Every structure is written in C-alpha cells, then in structure tokens.
Chain A
Amino acid sequence: MSWYRANRWWVLRLARLPLDIFVFGTIAFFLVRLLPGDPVSVAISSRSGTVSPEAIAAVRTQMGLDGTVWDQLLRFWGGLFQGDLGHSLVTGAPVIDEVFSRLPSTIELIVLGLIGAFVLCLVLGFLYLRFANRALRASIRVYSSFATTVPVFVVAIFLIVIFYVILDWLPAPLGRVSSGTLPVITGFPLVDELLTGNVDLFGETLVQYIMPVAAMVLTYTPNLLTQYIGGLDRELVQPTTRFQVAAGVPRKWIFFSVFRRSLSSVVVVFGLFFGSLIGGAVTIESLFGFGGIGALGVRSVQSVDFTALQGFLVVVVAVCLIAMLVVDLVNMWLDPRRRPGIESEAS
C-alpha cells in the first residue's frame, strides 16, 4: 500500500489516458457527422444508371452506416475498445492500417524538430546564464521574442530559397528518396533505412531532413526559449540561489540547480504547443512533398470518409494526449510539488 501511496501520482495520471481518449473519440464521432455530404451518395454517384433502393441500403450496410446514429455509436465504441477503427469508406482498407502507415513518418519529423528545438533551447539557455556578455544575452533575448510570431512554413520557404534556389547546397524539396522502395518494418523512414542496412539511403534522408527540421527548430525554439529564459531570470534571484551561494555550494552545482528549477516551465510549454506542432509538421510535409498523416486527413474530409476521418482524429488526439501525459509525468518527476495530493505551505 505504501508503494501505491508513493507512486499514486503517475498511476492515477496513467489511468486517465484511456478515459480521455474515449471521451474525445466520442466527440469526434459526432463532429464528423456534422460534415456536409452523405458518403453513401458519394459512393453511389460514381455508378452509372439508376440504383435501386435495395442496392443503396446494401451499400449503406456495407459501409457500416446503417441503423440510427446511436447504433453506429455503439459499434464505434465496441471497435474502439478492441482497437478497431473500422474500414475506410473510400479505399476499404482498415483505418488503423491507413493511419499507422503514415503516422510514423510524421512523428519522426516532429520528434527530430522537438529534440532539435529542445537542445538548441538548452544550449542558448546555458550561454545566457553562463556568460555575462551583454551583447550575447541581448541577442538571445531578441531571438526568444520571435516566439509564435513567424509561421513555420515562412521559415521553410526562406530556407528553400536560400539553400536550394540560390546556393544549391541542399536537395530540392521533391519528396522522399526511399518512398515506396523499402519494406516497411517500423514505418519510421530513418529507422527502417537503418534496419534494412541502407546506409546510403539513410544519409540521403538525413540530408533531405536538414531544411524541414531546421525550419521547425528555428521556429519552435523561441517558444521554449522565452519560457526558459524567463525561468532562469526568475530562479537566479530566488532566495534559494542566494542561499546556495552563501552555504558554499560549488558554482557548477548552483548552475545545475538553476537550470533544473527553470526546466519545468519549458516542459509545460511542450504540452501546450504539441498540437500546433502536429499542424506545423503537416504543413512542412506538404511543402517538402513528404506525404504523411496530414494528407490522410485532407483526403478523408474531401471524400466525406466518416470512418477514416474519425479514426484519424482519434489517433492524432491520442498522440497529443500521450505527449501531454509524458509532459505531465516528466514535470511531476522534475518538481515533486506538482504531484497531486501534495499540499505546499508556500503560497
């Protein structure tokens, strides 16, 4: 029981995840059905001649759109519990497969962009704190003030113009090198290329990633950096820092402590803008011709593909929720005062 009490904070947080996904999935189910257009008539309109009401009903049943909305909802729930999101109304392929064949490449891009932004943020934060140089600190502050002002595709287009059009140092943004030529193992392009031993392809993909990832890193770092610099400035003048100096804590430890105390504000931001990150990644993918989860979303809206769209939404939201879960857990680990059930006297 004492194990439970000590670990309750993350156990409870973990238990909330499926509930959140279920609630959001239900919302998505209804939202999708508000789209104008009837998938059955879309499907039938492609057939020539008149279609009998029986044939229409047959198509409706086959698409899983027969019965009342509540019947459909029950079927959707049943599928959700078994990890089955139904079949696409357009291609007939299982939605799960459709989503998971595209999701990994998008996630790969996001993860690379995030790691890059996080590392750059840490490095700049370190420079900001370590060196009392006015010019350096001022320029870091100016860079951080670009947070949320410049959209990622603007930065990407600038990079393309400079490094492809003018300098011709980097390859054209014309899609993936390995697209469709490799057996799919994990779905993550870089990982698959390594696993199948295609080191050349791996290198080419890396080179191709330079511009899109750099665009994401340059765009998203200021978001993290404003929080981080704010945290550093705040923690630096905290009585805690003063006491550490006064108690004779070595400078390295004090720096580390200030960095650590400021970190949780950065981690919070991660959770807040992960959703917009997916949006950014989708834009980047279409700009560089990568194809990914975004393309699926666009296709299913255009073709009124209810099942594909609701499956797409559920999975994307689940990814966001998992990201937020990780953010929460990391934060509670970094700063135990954030764990639920902890009453702090400090106000």
Chain B
Amino acid sequence: MSRLAKPLERADEAIAVERFAVAYRTEFGLVPAVSNVSFALKRSERLAVVGESGSGKTTLAMAIAGLLPHETAQVDYGVARVAGRPVDMSASRSVIPVRHEGVSMIFQDAMTSLDPVATIAHQFRSVLGKRGVRRSEIRAESIEWIEKVGIPNPERVLKLHPYELSGGMRQRVMIALAMCSKPAVLIADEPTSALDIVVSRRIMDLVLSLAVELGTAVIVITHDIDLARKYTDRMLVLYNGEVQDLCSTDSVTSAERSPYTRALLDCVPRLQDYDKEFLPTLARSIERAAS
C-alpha cells in the first residue's frame, strides 16, 4: 500500500473502532457484554465513557487495549485502527494477552498495578528499555518522566519499591509508566474513583496535560458525570453493553438525548437538591423518562 493511498483525514486519527462487540466465555456459553460500539477519536481528543456499574465500560476498555485473553472473551470488530494502522486482533496463543500497539491503560489502584517486588527504576527500564538503548539514557529518560509527573527527588524515587511511595506518588508513577511509551490512546478506567475530589482533579489535570503534550487521545471511564463534563470533549453513554448516546459533552443535556442518558444526568446530585427528601435514583429516573 502506498502512502498516498491513505486517506488524508486519517493523518490525525488516534483510534477508530466500528461495530465492536465483546462476549465473555462462561460456563453458560457466550455472554455478550458489549455490542455494536463505534467511535473515532482524533489525536488529543477526549472521550468519556459513562454508565452505571456493570454496563460494560471496563470490558470495552480492556478489549480495546487488547487485555482480554482469548480464553476469557471473544472480541468481534468490523474495523479497528490505532494511529491509522489496523489493529492485529488475531488471538494470541499465549496465556498473557497481547497488547494492541499504541494503546496504554491505567487503572484505579496503582498499588496493585505496579510490580510490588521491582524498583521504580526497573519498571521504567521494562517499558523504555529496547535493544541498543544505553542504560544511562534510560535512566535519564526515567528521571525526566518522574519530574514530568510532579514527583520531587526523582533519583531517590528510582531506587524505591512501590510500597515505599505514598498513594499519590504511586498514582503518578503509574501515569508516567503508561505515558512514557508515547501511546496514541490512553484509557483511564475510573482513574480517580478512589481519590478525594481535590487529588482526583489534580490527577486528571496531569493526565490531560501530558496527553496534550504527546498528542494522545484519552478515553476516561467514569461514573462521575461532573468529571466527564469538566474534562472531556465527547461522551459515550453505555447501558447494558449498548451505546445509548455518543455526543459532544456540551450537548449532553439537550433534549434529543436518549431516555437513559437523561435519567443518568438526573442522578447527579445538584446543590439545590440537597434539601429534598429523596434524591433521584436511576431506577426511578428511568421509569419517569420512559413514561
């Protein structure tokens, strides 16, 4: 394929998926968890995936990143491209899943995500170390990344193990590790659900400023609608594995949204609601929206 054959508009496309579907292999056979999801993101664009627990957000994210092993789940897709290149989703013969090149992912719990028995230096080396790169260069780059995520005294941090860091520092190290391979897409699965609001906003600011710097598209998975509205350009509303809405974040409140989306928005507590006896819940909101 010649370079000219590539459509021009794909030049700054970070990721595109079409007719994406995931089904888990269980003892009762294939159980669909996500069906018919399509979306595309440009570089530096931000997408929020929102929906209640069990709606398939994590499943979608893991499948996009290539983290679902063949024995666990069956992933079907029409088209999937990362940074303009088609993703090779042929099943891996290994027990360790094969990552989709260019897609990084961070998780809620940095403590369990980082390797507990390896030093931070070792963990950077495992991502940055490639054939022909000298150790001193890797070290310099690691230090640069640790500084970039706002951790003081990087030389010291390199020598430490994850359990010797504070929770906030671990979160930052995880972000640095996920970003230092300069991915086209970063997926953050409820990155801040365990943090208090101040720290969580600071972490989001950090992720997004790094993403802008590297031109990385960000997919934020969250059930925090406020966070999604503050930090993302577009919103994908998932319910029961199906897309309810895919719209720009600003227009999510407009009237033509699906009943489910409106119900979800109703559940966001507003300050003026706090004197009400009952706060809206999803079930009641769905009933109301459907009627």
Interface residues of A (CB under 8 A from B): 129-132, 236, 238-251, 253-255, 257-258, 260-261, 264, 334-337, 342, 344-346
Contacts and interface: CB of A to CB of B under 8 A. Distances in A.
B93 A132 contact: yes
Contacts of B111: 345-346
Contacts of B117: 260-261, 264, 334-337
Contacts of A342: 163
B43 to A, nearest CB: 18
B112 interface: yes
B163 to A, nearest CB: 5
14 contacts: A130-B94, A236-B95, A238-B112, A240-B113, A243-B105, A245-B97, A246-B104, A247-B105, A248-B127, A251-B94, A251-B96, A257-B115, A258-B96, A261-B115
B181 interface: yes
The prevalent SS among residues of B at the interface is loop
9 closest cross-chain pairs (CB), A and B: A246-B105, A243-B113, A248-B181, A239-B112, A253-B126, A249-B126, A344-B163, A245-B99, A335-B117
B126 A257 contact: yes
Contacts of B183: 248
Contacts of A129: 95
Most chain B CB within 10 A, of A260, A334, A337, is at A337
Contacts of A245: 65-67, 96-99
Contacts of A240: 112-116
Contacts of B237: none
A258 B94 CA distance: 14
A198 B105 CA distance: 61
A242 B96 CA distance: 9
B156 to A, nearest CB: 13
Given A243-B177, A248-B183, A261-B115, 19 more contacts: A132-B93, A239-B109, A240-B112, A242-B107, A245-B67, A245-B99, A246-B65, A246-B67, A246-B105, A247-B105, A247-B178, A248-B127, A251-B94, A255-B96, A257-B126, A335-B116, A344-B163, A345-B167, A346-B111
